[in-house]
């Protein structure tokens, strides 16, 4: 997945973090495609995703709450659903890291397409429209 200008929402910190996510998605795509997946590779990507969620989601949610974003509840619900799916995957007993990596990749691609390119874009437009950034 190549980073495209249309992926940018105009919020520097948000775009930077989204770009980092795309870089990690690309690394995971490469590993899954080549079959070069082991526990270490899976855990490295999973650790990034957990840190990403802890940082990115919290920053967004703090901005939403402090600026009265009207779609906060729906946006946070999407964050929580992704975290729930991630936690289920990370606590799964399976040692099939190839399968777990494929599931993680699908979840990340879904997050990018259904959340970042739409839900996050609405949020960024709100911040820009109201001159909050």
Q: What percent of the chain has pLDDT over 90?
A: 90
Q: From CA 34, how far away is CA 54, in angstroms rounded?
A: 29
Q: Phi/psi zone of residue 35: left (φ > 0), alpha (ψ -120 to 50 degrees), beta?
A: left
The rounded mean pLDDT for the chain is 95
Which DSSP category does 1 fall into?
-
Which DSSP helix (H) or strand (E) runs through 129? helix 120-129
The pLDDT-based confidence of 33 (bands split at 50, 70, 90) is very high
Instruction: Quote the pTM value.
Output: 0.92
Q: In this predicted structure, what is the pLDDT of residue 70? A: 98
The CATH code for residues 21-129 is 1.20.120
Half-sphere exposure of 22 (CA within 13 A, CB side): 17
Backbone φ and ψ of 130, nearest 5°: -95, 10
Local confidence band at 53 (pLDDT 50, 70, 90 cut-offs): very high
Distance CA 50, CA 45 (A): 9
């Amino acid at each position: 997945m190549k980073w495209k200008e249309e992926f940018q929402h105009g919020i520097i910190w948000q775009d930077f973090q989204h770009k980092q996510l795309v870089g990690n998605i690309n690394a995971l795509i490469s590993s899954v495609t080549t079959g070069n997946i082991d526990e270490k590779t899976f855990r490295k990507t999973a650790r990034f995703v957990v840190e990403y969620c802890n940082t990115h989601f919290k920053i967004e949610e703090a901005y939403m709450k402090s600026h009265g974003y009207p779609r906060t509840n729906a946006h946070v619900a999407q964050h929580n659903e992704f975290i729930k799916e991630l936690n289920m995957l990370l606590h799964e007993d399976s040692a099939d890291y190839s399968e777990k990596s494929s599931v993680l990749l699908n979840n990340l691609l879904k997050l990018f397409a259904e959340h970042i390119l739409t839900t996050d874009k609405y949020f960024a437009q709100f911040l820009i429209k109201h001159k909050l950034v």
